[in-house]
Amino acid sequence: MKRHAFIPASPAPLEERITPSPSGLASAVATPRALLQSHSLGLYGIALGSDTTVGAHHMLQASDATISPLGTVSLSGFLVIPNKGAAKRAVHGTVMISNAQGTVKVSLSGTVTVYNGAFTFASGTLSYKIDSGTKADHGATGTGPVSYGPGPVFQPGRFLLDFGNYPLPP
């Protein structure tokens, strides 16, 4: 009796064949965004809220802010503006931007000008850097411009953070 060599029935190379799973043929499964190593997130929008000053720390709190691509969010954190010095002062701080889909931790740094008048306020151009994210925003990274000021109506205890320098370019 003469033996014959085994010839595979599939014309596809072994590397391209699909391995059967217990429920049938395995299908391609999309990797959820939360499991990706990192993804760039360019923040764009405005947060307007309350600013409670304790010494050099400006405690920032805003709800119902709209920051793209996150959507409607709340924002909380602080900005350190030295009490003494020239009108232009170096500042730094951290804010947490949150909604049901996750939280993004953002560092702020830059320079503001302090104005003294009927009430003291500061405004200036800062930079943001995304430090971390949770849930859908896990692995988020990104940097960009952010403006800081008292908001459209000058009033003590208010702040505005303008991520990406709103309005949209044409």
Q: Is 36 among the domain residues?
A: yes
pLDDT digits (tens, 9 = 90+) for 45-73: 999 999 999 999 999 999 999 999 999 99
Q: Domains in the chain: how many in total? A: 1
pTM for the predicted model, two decimal places: 0.74
Q: Going by C-beta distance under 8 Å and a sequence separation of 6 or more, which residues neighbour residue 38?
A: 139, 140, 141
Residue 74 belongs to a domain: yes
Amino acid code (one letter) for 105: K
Distance, CA of 95 to CA of 58 (rounded, Å): 11
4 within a domain of the structure (yes/no): no
CA 149, 161, 62, 84 dihedral sign is negative
Residue 139 included in any domain: yes
Give the range among 20-24, 117-121, 144-148 with minimum mean pLDDT. Answer: 20-24
Does 156 map to a domain? yes
Q: Is 101 contained in some domain?
A: yes
Pairing status of strand 140-141 against strand 39-40: parallel
The whole domain housing 24 covers 14-163
Q: Is residue 3 part of a domain?
A: no
Which is nearest to 89 in space by CA: 54, 124, 53? Answer: 124
Residues in the chain: 170
**Closest to 130 (Cα-Cα) out of 33, 35, 44, 31:** 44
Candidate from 28-37, 81-90, 93-102 with smallest mean pLDDT: 28-37
